[in-house]
Structure 1
Amino acid sequence: MGHSHHFHLDQGDHSITVHVGPGKDGEIELLVNGKVVACLKEHGRGTSLLTGELPDDPTRPFRVRVRQPHLVPSRLRCTLELDGVEQPMPERPMV
């Protein structure tokens, strides 16, 4: 994983974005509507978990899992869990 990754989903009126920095130990940022709500400075291979809330009334908590290849080389994956439903977050090219 030598470059940055960018994942994004729109949920109603809100956007959820995950930036994964370059390298296996790159920083992970979780953004809601363009604002950083969670950050992991250090992480290893395997699964990293970040949590956030959508600013609805009432707020809606969610989790994001970033799965990095462990044993077999494969693509980085990002999954959103919101309202008990998991859905993959598509990777978008950095612009």
Structure 2
Amino acid sequence: MRQRHHFHTDHAGHSVSVTVETGHTVRVEVLVDGKETGYAATRGDRPVVVQVEIPTDPPEAATVRVRPGPGVPRCLFEAPDAESRPMSPRAY
């Protein structure tokens, strides 16, 4: 059965949101300021890494690491100028 899980964090004045859709195939979508900037898919509980760009001046590369399972998915946000941090779950 498919389930959607949502996560969020703010970085450098920008909103970063992740939707993880679990099931046989796991789909991960990353939005920065409401625009899709990254997407990945995998099977089962394999970890997923999605590279995104934060629209700062100059643009900044960042990484979202997703562990889809077992259990509830977890997301970690990593940027060069900030400490890695877990993304907060969000109910939609």
Fold shared, TM-score > 0.5 on shorter chain? yes
Is 2:78 the partner of 1:81?
yes
User: Could you state the TM-score of these two structures normalised by the residue count of structure 1?
Assistant: 0.84
Aligned residues, how many?
90
Runs of at least 5 residues in structure 2 that lack an aligned partner in the other structure: none
Q: What do the CA deviations read for 1:19-59 (whole angstroms, capped 9, x no partner)? A: 1124141321011000001111x312121000111111111
Structure with higher strand content: 2
Runs of at least 5 residues in structure 1 that lack an aligned partner in the other structure: none
Is 2:42 the partner of 1:43?
yes
Structure 1 ranges of 4+ moved more than 2 A: none
User: Could you state the TM-score of these two structures normalised by the residue count of structure 2?
Assistant: 0.86
Cα RMSD, aligned residues only: 1.7
Cα distance in 2, alignment partners of residues 6 and 24 from structure 1: 18
